[in-house]
Amino acid sequence: MPNDRMNFARHRRVTMEDVGRMAGVSQVTVSRALSDPSKVSPKTLEKIREAIEVTGFVRNAVAGALASRKSRLVSALVPSITNVVYSSMIRALSERLRTHGYQILLSETGFSQADEEEAILAHLSRQPDAIILTGIHHSMQARRRLLGAGIPVLELWDTTDTPIDLCVGFDHAGAARAAAGFALERGYRKAATVTASDERARRRRAAFADRFAAGAVPDFDVCGPASIVAGREGLARLLDSHDLAGGIVYCSSDIIAHGVLIEAQSRGIAVPGDLAVMGFGDQDFARHLEPSLTSVRIDLEHLGQTAANTILDRIEGRNIAAPVTALNFEIIDRASV
């Protein structure tokens, strides 16, 4: 066989017709076996399955979606796939959806509305059965596209009285006010904050400062994503310009708080004797730090599962009691405060 014909044979997509030819049945029978196996005899079904195994046939899901009007895909957009907070939440969401026959189509958007808008357009072109967004702040063009798509939309990780469609999250400002109240109850009268650059972190920072001392709380804005380096730099800058002795540093994430603890240790500052540190998120490593980190806990598994159940109810036409589901948070008291 000439090389060009060999290459064609090697790379040509296997079709239903090929499967049917190998199984000794028609293409229509193969299609019926894939869409509704109960309509095909067990003997014929076994032949078709063997032919699929031998040929490596992969069903065209897009064609199936056109026929059934369901893609069995749920799009999910998150700011960061490396941030354990988002990845833990998406893992719980994906596991629940998978048990109902749906797969996650995942994209990272950063914290840019423009990048999110592009990702929304790309995902909608794949005809997902629903789309899940992180947060409640989106561009007007993104909102128009989502409303025009006519599919369920769920905003995750935050709450609002005016969701695009559905919303599952928690009160970020309320969580930060609770953290400030906890610090005040412990007798702290001086505070500072180290804050990542995303909108929700800054909202928590403002609520903490307002509850603690009517906003008069020094802050270091890391001007970027959360990191250990940002935490170390944040505490160093704050100590250079403010007297924090006997005070508390509230961080917008546990990863930043980890950096703050490292910087304090490098300077011989006792935590919590000379300075207290508080994080947000209660990530797995928080309890294993030295000292163990006090943090605001969000049950990420429950959050992901609740979001999955809510979007499944909407996709499958079940009644939803309320479009907004607000989940609880909890302050985990450990040795750093």
Domain ranges, ordered by start, for the chain: 3-59, 70-170+301-327, 173-297
* Helix axes of 300-315 and 84-98: crossing angle, nearest 10 degrees: 40
Q: Are 194 and 231 in contact (CB under 8 A)?
A: yes
Identical fold for domains 70-170+301-327 and 173-297, yes or no, is yes
The whole-number pLDDT of residue 69 equals 60
| Domain 3-59 part of CATH 1.10.260.40 | yes
Say which amino acid occupies 249. V
**Chain CA centroid to CA 4, Å:** 47
Q: Could you please state the CATH topology (level 3) that the domain comprising 70-170+301-327 is classified under.
A: Rossmann fold (3.40.50)
Say if residue 68 is exposed, middle or buried (CB neighbours under 10 Å; 0-12, 13-18, 19+).
exposed
181 CA to centre of own chain: 28
Query: Is the alpha carbon torsion for 224, 226, 232, 234 positive or negative?
Result: positive
Tell me the C-alpha distance between 206 and 140, whole Å. Answer: 25
CA distances from 134 to 79, 124, 242 (A): 7, 16, 35
Looking at residue 57, its amino acid is: F
Q: Is residue 105 helix, strand or coil?
A: strand
Q: Is 184 exposed, middle or buried (0-12, 13-18, 19+ CB in 10 A)?
A: middle
- Fold classification of 173-297 (topology level): Rossmann fold (3.40.50)
- Per-residue pLDDT tens digits of the chain, which is 337 residues long: 444 433 434 456 678 888 899 899 998 998 888 878 888 899 999 999 888 888 777 665 555 544 456 789 999 999 988 888 888 899 999 999 999 999 999 999 988 899 999 999 999 888 899 999 999 999 998 998 898 888 999 999 999 999 999 999 999 999 999 999 999 999 999 999 999 988 999 999 999 999 998 768 999 999 888 899 999 999 999 999 999 999 999 999 999 999 999 999 999 999 999 999 999 999 999 999 999 999 999 999 999 999 999 999 999 999 998 999 999 999 999 999 9
Q: What's the token pair of residue 208?
A: 């903490």
Compute and round to an integer the Cα radius of gyration of the chain.
26
Measure the CA–CA gap between 312 and 324, rounded to whole angstroms: 15
Dist CA 78 CA 110 (whole Å): 7
Closest CA to 200 of 228, 182, 174, 234: 174
Q: Which long-range contacts (CB under 8 A, 24 or more apart) does 124-129 make?
A: 124/75, 124/149, 126/71, 126/73, 126/75, 127/62, 127/65, 127/71, 127/73, 128/71, 128/73, 128/74, 128/75, 129/70, 129/71, 129/72, 129/73, 129/74, 129/102, 129/315
Q: How many residues does the chain have?
A: 337
